[in-house]
Structure 1
Amino acid sequence: MADVARSHGGDGGNEPPYGPPYNLRTGCESCIPRFTTKVGKKFLHYFDLQRYHNIEYWEGIKQGIQSDCANRYKDRKTKLKKHFDKVGGYDNTERAKTKPPEGMNPDAWVQVIEELFTTPTYQKRSQANSANRSKQLYGSYHGTQSYAQRRYTEVQETGVAKHVEGWREMHCKGSSGWYNEMAETHWVSACLV
């Protein structure tokens, strides 16, 4: 859900504010059936998309909008989870409920905690993700792009995948250096083989 013009009622006039922008469910997919009409109407109100509906690129445009909305949803959920962990987390959910993020409606914050962060499904997934991250020897500088996606892109652009140099680029930045000492050690030992 995009956070567009949330501080006024839409026309800047006498309409009441839209309300808190943090209305989250457990996944973007669960929001779509309920909010598709509202989101679609807002897009039509702010953007003239009607003229693109009958062109060959419409599916791509629609997928791009959906992707951007999903990313914004994920980013907002991540920020809220970090705040939740910082102010009490699972160890003290009652304290966390009393400390909403700045600018967020306290009732909406409690709802996010009760309907998202403390559900058994979410906690199980969160614990599994934490366990998987703890098994990693080092991170990388390539974000969420997988090694396979990077290789595919390289082949599309240059005709050949740069396996060795590509690995180095993902774990070492010119200005920042190596992600950690272990990444550098693995690079040096791989080059000596």
Structure 2
Amino acid sequence: LPGPPFTHQQMPRKMVYYGQTSCEQDTERYLDVVKYVFGCYKKEVPLVINTMGWVKGEGLLLLIDIIRLFSPSHIVQMDMCDWKAMPPLTPAHVHFSAGLHTKGKQQSKCKQLGADGMESWKYPEGEDLSAPQHKLLYVHPEFPRAGMAGEARVHSSILRDMSILGYLGHLQSPDIGAVLPLHSLVPYQV
């Protein structure tokens, strides 16, 4: 990657101003916005979706909804400290777990007693297990304290501000002589 996102912004084909730093208070609106933006995606090129990193509690449930919505071919899951932070997002986990706005499939298994006297679980024959399949790539950072809360060199609010300034910087004329004050730029036009 060439650097932080604000250093290499491109003109979007479709965008929505969500207006919140977190979608925690209105997850349904967030999903509607994501669906709207995804509607212009042309499937000829790979699509990388970088989630917001909210993966605890309802954030994990929302992530499961997003995975179901987009049916990705690959998921890259980054581990912060250990597997306890978040369950592995295997196809089975996504298929059977409930999301925030979607239900998981009922996992019906039959207990059987094997020849060795050990109990085992098996899916009933003929059951449709057509879960969306994806390949899970698990990444464990080799850097000490990577992903630990409060350990970032730059706070997320500063990165958001830099992204907005990077976007507004593209509105500035490339001519060095005509520098306009920031408040004179029109960021969005309706």
Normalising by structure 2, what TM-score?
0.22
* Larger RCO of the pair (alpha carbons < 8 Å, separation 6+): 2
Name the one with the larger helix percent.
1
